[in-house]
Amino acid sequence: MEILDPLIRLKDAHSKGIIPDDVYDLTIERFPITVAGINRIEKASGIRYPVAYVDPSLVISSSDPNSYQYGILFARTIPVMFEEKFQVVIQISAPLVAYGLKGTIHAILAHEFLHFLELIRKISKMDLLSDEISGNLFENVYSDETRLFEPKAVFKDRTLLNHITKRFPAGFRDFKLEDKVMKFWADRNLPKSNISLDRNTVKLPVESLSKIKLDPAFLLKIEQLEEKSSKISKKRLY
């Protein structure tokens, strides 16, 4: 399910009049920051970034639909079975591209990349449980509670590491960015989708899991990163 143009959904929403000109132009103008972030992550890790695309909506997640407490999901790592083929897709929200600072965009892209590695690791070990089955994979997001690879083990880029550790001490919050997004996106009634937190997990049918073929060289690299990560974690503990 190769998405050839990562901006195709944004362009489509703009041509239908769902996304106004000013927001569209700003997102297109700032998209190279995202591309630079992906290139940077590939260079710092030596691993190809998964397919990514810009979603023309603000994704809001809450534990309870009646609650005023919510979080903005600026990007999501989504596993997809498409015509018997398995692929991981990174969905990047247009508000992040339009209003995020460069360091924030790169940190979020790197964070999703760590989710991608963790997801491949779990699939290679058949670690995703069968009770996590769901029909529509696009409705499900990778859970943030799972143990991520240590950024230091994965990325050889000090500035990128600083961005990640500064912005993800425990979950991501950027109040300035959130205020901007609420003002320039939500308050203008631009597209918004709500996801409940209990649906914020990977759900892949077992029969699909058994059909997934992963590149052995990639799996070896993931094993090495896992080993490196556990050494770094242990060092921190003692």
pLDDT at 167: 79
H/E/C letters for each residue in 147-193?
CCCCHHHHCCCHHHHHHHHHHCCCCCCCHHHHHHHHHHCHHHCCCEE
pLDDT at 140: 40
Pairing of strands 192-196, 58-62: parallel
To the nearest 5 percent, what fractions of the chain are helix, strand and coil? 55, 15, 30
pLDDT at 1: 47
What is the pTM for the complete model shown?
A: 0.86
Q: Cβ atoms within 10 A of the Cβ of 211, count?
A: 12
pLDDT at 184: 96
* Beta-carbon contacts of residue 60 (< 8 Å; ≥ 6 apart): 70, 71, 72, 73, 192, 193, 194, 195
In three-state secondary structure terms, 40 is helix
* Beta-carbon contacts of residue 183 (< 8 Å; ≥ 6 apart): none
pLDDT tens-digit readout, 28-56: 999 999 999 999 999 999 999 999 999 99
Q: Which residues of the chain have pLDDT under 50?
A: 1, 130-143, 145
Q: Note the helical H segments in 46-101.
A: 94-99
